[in-house]
Chains A and B, each alone.
Chain A
Amino acid sequence: MNELRRWLTPMVLLLLVLAAVETYLRLAAVPSYIFPQPSAVFSELFRSFPGLAGHALTTVVETVAGLAIGVCAGVVLALLIVVSRTVERALYPLIIATQMVPVFAIAPLLVVWFGYGIWSKAATAALLVFFPVTVGMVDGLRSPTEDQRDLLRSLQASRRQTLRLLELPASVPALFSGLKVGVTLGVVGATIGEWIGAQRGLGFVMVQANALLRLERVFAAIVLLTAVGLLLFGLVRIIEKKVLARRG
């Protein structure tokens, strides 16, 4: 019931906005190659759904692959940073630098290096995903209180044991926060990868439809992309709730 309510309000708002846009576009007779009517977008979505769903699946696979790589890289980097001050000083500027370079500048290189298949898109996604995961994980690993560290010190726990018994478990909430930001960035990364060079995926659909001035198809792809993002985000939230509830 509550769940329904939570979804109902944004849905109603969305429908109202769409209705207003539709009315305006019809009254002002805006041509569809400038701005397609919502009804045209949805009819395109339903008409081409099987094909579009296949493209969406490709984007999902790329995103999930990028997410997996990005999260692993993020966790490993965070561990290195936390364990060694030297590594921290050496790595942190480089890690921040990777986020200063626009993805659009790097994505073509990634296509050259990793080919037109899913791996160049996964790499683009991973490049965006690893950053929030690293930063979040570092904070998480550093979150134990001085009292908690003292307790492990009094037991003469080794560095490794402190990591395993204290720092890693303490960083689980931070990992999920990083993951939630990472999911949305992963979808963006995969799509950008597809714009640069691909034969499949929602990004590819957008580029192609754009060139043909079929804007209702571009918007249909955007709608599906949003759905994909929300779906993955929701999935992470469900896992997060389950895990955090079990830890208490």
Chain B
Amino acid sequence: MRTSLTFAGVSKSFPSPRGRMVVLDGLSLEVDAGGWTSLVGPSGCGKTTLAKIAAGILTADAGQVLVGGMGVERSRTVAYMPQHDTLLPWRSALENAILSADVDGRSRAQARSEARQLFVRFGLGGFEEQRPSTLSGGMRQRVALIRTFLTRRDILVLDEPFGALDALTRAGLQQWLSKIWMELGHTVLFITHDVEEAVLLSDRVAVCSSLPGRIRTEVQVMLPRPRSRVSAEVTAYRASLLETLAAGAIS
């Protein structure tokens, strides 16, 4: 179940009031099979756009997105977690989590029991039958993460999955996700604003420039896991990445 994800010279522009706005300009990025690459960058630099291209929601104007060396369309290998949780209000939390079973025609009973276990691990035990509107923002995000996991695809594209969480829950889920990833070996493209989070979790951090988006720097994070956020190495990586980001913001 190891598949790489490759962006080769991906460009994308959107129509805007002042002609076309180039959002991605020949972006290239490689997410190794079974590897964890994080993408950090200023707001509006096209991270979500890139994630949507990977998920087959948008098509690139130019360039290629390859999954295990093949085209990404209809490949059913990418699980996408949108930046906004996008839970369906008429489904219970548990039913939301098993949405992919309905699309893929898998057994609902089995999906439900898998989902129940994940709910307990995510600290959502007892909330299975609640409607999304009665859950907190952080709880909703966790349900969306479970939904992404249950799609049973090799590649996870997570768009700021912990954005709406408090520091404590966030740290817990980071650990949990890291552990699961070491067990299952998904290929992960992880989008975040949080440089520290990127250093803690990834084996490669890519920094994208502000519009039009391109990869400015890639940093290999070669530290053993589990990593501690107060260790000197993590702090050093964090400081150098922040410097790179700041330099980009000024120029």
Contact = CB atoms under 8 A, between A and B. Distances in A.
Contacts of A153: 55-57
Nearest to A161: B103
A169 B57 CA distance: 22
Contacts of B228: none
A4 B99 CA distance: 43
A148 B100 contact: no
Contact of A152 (B84, B103, B134): B103
A151 B85 CA distance: 10
A162 to B, nearest CB: 9
A148 B78 CA distance: 17
B60 to A, nearest CB: 15
Contacts of A170: 90
> Which residue, B52, B79, B99, B131, has most C-beta atoms of chain A within 10 A?
B99
Given A154-B56, A154-B80, A161-B102, A147 B86 contact: yes
B225 to A, nearest CB: 29
A156 B90 contact: no
A141 B21 CA distance: 31
Interface in A126-173: 145, 147-148, 150-157, 161, 165-166, 169-170, 172
B82 A165 contact: no
Contact of A150 (B52, B79, B133): B52
Contacts of B100: 155
Contact of B82 (A150, A157, A166, A247): A150
A172 B82 contact: no
B18 interface: no
A157 B103 contact: yes
The A interface is mostly helix, strand or loop, or mixed, namely helix
Interface residues of A, number: 19
Contact of A248 (B52, B76, B92, B103): B92
A155 B151 contact: yes
B177 interface: no
Contacts of A248: 89-90, 92, 130-134
B20 interface: no
> Which residue, B88, B102, B132, has most C-beta atoms of chain A within 10 A?
B88
A171 B89 CA distance: 12
Contacts of A169: 88, 90-91
Nearest to A243: B90
Given A156-B76, A248-B134, A165 B102 contact: yes
Interface of B: 52, 55-57, 74, 76, 78-80, 82, 84, 86, 88-92, 99-100, 102-104, 130-134, 151
12 contacts: A148-B86, A154-B82, A155-B103, A156-B103, A161-B102, A165-B88, A165-B102, A169-B88, A172-B90, A247-B89, A247-B90, A248-B132
